[in-house]
Each structure stands twice: as structure tokens, then as C-alpha cells.
Amino acid sequence: MSDPVRVLIVDDSALVRKVLTEQLSRQPGIEVVGQAPDPFVARERIVALEPDVITLDIEMPRMDGLSFLKKLMKFHPVPTIIFSSIAGRGSQIAMDCLEAGAVEVLAKPNGSAAIGQVAARLGDLIRGIKDVKIRRDPGPANHPAPHPPRTGPKPCAQPSTRVIAIGASTGGTEALRDVLTPLDADTPGIVIVQHMPAGFTNAFANRLNGLCHIQVREAQDGDQICTGLALIAPGELQMKVVKDGASWKVHVFDGPRVCRHKPSVEVLFESTAECVGKKAMGIILTGMGADGARGMLSMRNAGAYTVGQDQESCIVYGMPREAFEAGAVCQQAPLREVPRHITEWAQGAIRAAA
């Protein structure tokens, strides 16, 4: 039996620390080794206790959680889950935390009973990120320079003749940035599922839109898939590709969870396989679990060219591994090479094997 994941809870609320400790300690494979009411105490306990994972609040006395996270990732990186009520109210703060190196952001509900209800989800995250690769001191030097801001929305004038479907989860926000920013404005239309709560995806899309040559925005039901446009599925809704005459559009709807997720990569990939077939490319990036593996296999069987992020470059080699082991991946590639695969496929230089 493997050793339990050692967790340090950092939160200024004594009640939250108590409830989380009780709830997480009941779950298999987790040991809460300590608590801290603020970042200064947390710093001492991280050194003394050497936790595998930290849960971190944002609003705390003496130093806010985001400032502490930046220092932590620079001097003593530890896999960190943001667990804060402000994450649900301020999606921009959530994006800042992910960019600073947090592995996941989970909105803290009001009331101890509600916190107990999300403890199972938090426990799954804790068990899944124990061995993730942490980027030390992620900063502007590692980010592409933003393009000049647009004065207005870029018109969708040309329906795409091909479709690129991308799925990602843990670590995907930064991976998607690295994939999308090098792409030219004539790239075929892109549809994306990134596991995110409701309210986060619009801020995420807006941030990417300011960095990319292509247009990036949160999808709305009926949006046409156009050249130079990436559509991101809204949190807590499903998104699929549907035929629209000779081209395609997206259907965004409130359906059941698939592979425990909404939006689900599985839903996106299966619909792309059915509606687009060999005119599609599928890409599966870093993430926990198996969401998208069967759907990518359907895409490959339908003639699509499929790429899986390789283990070395993944924050979590879960979803790409499941897809690879299912025989769904035509080509594994480091994250830095995924944009090249997109460009070469778009130019007809590579295609799925017959």
C-alpha cells in the first residue's frame, strides 16, 4: 500500500480548518499533517512537516494567498490547491492563481455543511496531484508576449473546412496558452473543453484572446466554427459539434455529467468523430482521469489525426495516458511541439494513417 498523501490546510477560519481536517481525514489515502491560520505560520509548517499538497485560502490576514503562492512557487514549490470563496466570486483571481502555479482552483461554498459536501471532490484532487510537476517560479519570462489589443471582436467571415478539438484538465490552462499563442489567424476552427467551474471560462477565454493571433472566446449555443476562432465550452455546460450545412457549429446545452465532468471532453470528441470524421484533428492535453479517451479513439477510428501530450511535458499524465493506452493516439508529442503538429496538419503535411 502506498503512503498517504500528506496535506497542510492553510485557512484563516478555524471552523473551515476543523471541517476540512475531519472530512479529509476520513478519506482513504489522505493524512492531514497540519493546519495554518495564515501564510507566515504556513511557511514554518511547510518546512517542518514537508507536506505533499497544500490547500490554500486567498483572503487571509498579514498576507493574501496569491502573494504567498507566488513566493511559495519561487522558493519552495509544493502542489497547491486554491480553496477559497473568493475563487467563486472573482474569476480573474482564479486565473491569476493558476498562472502563478496553483494546480487547481476550487470555490469554497458557504457553511460547514456545504464544505463537507465538496470535500470528496477536494479529496480526489489531493490524491491526484501528489506527484504533479510543479513549475518553479512561473513568470513573464516564460509567457509569450501579448499581441496588440483588438479594438473590437474579429468577425467570423469564413466557416472552417476542418475542425480541431482539444481536451484538457489539470494543468490545462497554461498548456492551452502554450498551444494557442503560436497559431496563425488562418488556423482551422478550434473547439475546446477545459475542465473549469461555471464563471471561470469567460475570464480564461478573454485572457487567451489578448495573447493570441486567433480569436478566443467562450462558446454560445449556435456559434459557427470558423477559421481563426477558438471556442471554449462554458463551465457546467456540455458542448458538442453539430453539422450546419457544409460546415459545423457548436451546440451548448445543460446535459448530464459524462466521465464525472460537465463540460466533458468525451462529449466533444464523440460528436467531432460523428460529424467531422477525417476532417478533424483531436488533441488531448494534461489532466487527471480518463475523460476523452474513448472519444479520441472514436475520432481516430473515423479517420481523424490525433495527438496526445507526452508524459514528460504533462503536469498530470492521466488523460493523455488513458488515450494512448486505448490506442486512440496517432502521435505523442511534447507540449512545445503540439502547435507544429497543428500547423502541419492544417497545411496537409501530415494526416492520420489509413
Catalytic sites, residue numbers? 169, 195, 291
Instruction: Encode 161-217 in three state secondary structure.
Output: CCEEEEEECCCHHHHHHHHHCCCCCCCCEEEEEECCCCCCHHHHHHHHHCCCCCEEE
Counting every residue written for the chain, the total comes to 354
Residues 171 and 40: their CA atoms lie apart, in Å, by 27
Task: Concatenate the DSSP letters of all residues of 75-125 into one string.
Answer: HS---EEEEEHHHHH-HHHHHHHHHHT-SEEEEPPSSHHHHHHHHHHHHHH
Q: Which residues pair with 193 in a beta bridge?
A: 167
CB atoms within 10 A of CB 224: 16
Closest CA to 288 of 123, 133, 166, 170: 170
Confirm if 161 and 245 have CB atoms less than 8 A apart: no
Q: In the structure grid, which three cell numbers stand for residue 183, read together?
A: 497559431
Per-residue burial over 264-274, b if 16 or more Cβ lie within 10 Å, else e, is bbbbbbbbbbb
Q: In the structure grid, which three cell numbers stand for residue 110, read together?
A: 458557504
